[in-house]
Amino acid sequence: MGMDVPYYYRNKSQYPVGYDKEGNLVAGFYAGRTHQIISCRNCAIADPASQLIIDTVLDFMKQYGIRAYDETTGKGIVRHILIRSGKSTGQIMVCLVINGTRLPHKEALIEALLEANPQIVSICININDKNTNVILGRETEAIYGQDYIEDCIGSLRYRISAQSFYQVNPIQTKKLYDKALEYADLHGDETVWDLYCGIGTISLFLSQKADKVYGVEIVEQAVKNARENAALNEISNVEFFAGAAEEVVPAKYRESGGTLRSDVVVLDPPRKGCDEKLLQTVIQMEPKRIVYVSCDPATLARDLKYFGENGYVLKRICPCDMFGHSYHVETVCLLSKRSIMSM
């Protein structure tokens, strides 16, 4: 599934902030296999609004003498600029990742950003004072507006926070989710488990044609958003659990005395794929169909091999060009129990 116009599609961009070799304050992207920041004024896959927002933040930092974070000394304040946009709503979030608990002169930044782009509805700071390569810290605070933006995929509306997982290409996401729904082949009486559910994007898609959907997600803020999204769309046949899928699902299976079953299981793990303990439990739940959405062909192949050795057959596979101008691909697969291959 290709994209007709694979430019300016990203709804999320993260820009490290630092200094170039001449000591100039810059934001952009890391050079390959380094932490040297290459200034980027016009990224052909990012939201076009990003550059003016970046310029506004850098001008603010220069005006008020606010230093960028230096990972070698652990000093300085601003580490990253995170920008999220709702492609269907036009809403924009700007989140500064800072080394500390407060941003000096934040009122001036708010005023400058709103003057630069009136579509900004959320300005946040994310606190990350750890010596780490992880971009976001655990705590996010809204300093203007709400701590989320909203976007739509198809007829469903979603709230997205700074830390939520949400596919970066909404046009291709609609195609991907439609394909996942097609593979799930729901008729209204099925129970579905959606593992690694994020803010409930796939869960809510599935809920329109299922009897009951259970979602599991490790990020607590994303689970909060998922519950809000269900309420926002007046969907009541979904339930979300916070925790690691490889811990929550086996625990639920044990609590049921080994009777927990699911007609369909949807898996959408991170690049590392699924934990073997989770794969074992999914097989014990005896779903008729497994829909596996993957962003990494290597771990996908590993997990498909495991399912193949345990009674499931790969029936269909469809790649989706989610990340135009890169070698990355999103893939959706349908597996069926070997005993019901005639579906």
User: Active-site positions?
Assistant: 295
- From residue 209, alpha-carbon distances to 220, 240, 264 in Å are 26, 17, 12
And the tokens for 100?
A: 């500390």
Rounded (10°) angle between helices 276-284 and 245-255: 30
Query: What size, in residues, is the chain?
Result: 343
Long-range contacts of 17-22 (CB under 8 A, 24+ apart): 17/57, 17/58, 17/61, 17/68, 17/69, 17/78, 17/79, 17/80, 17/81, 18/68, 18/69, 18/70, 19/68
The dihedral formed by the CA atoms of 310, 293, 290 and 190, expressed in degrees to the nearest 10: 160
- What is the rounded CA–CA span in Å between residue 267 and residue 263? 13
Unique residue bearing structure tokens 């220069």: 62
- What is the rounded CA–CA span in Å between residue 101 and residue 80? 15
Torsions phi, psi of 239, nearest 5?
Answer: -140, 135
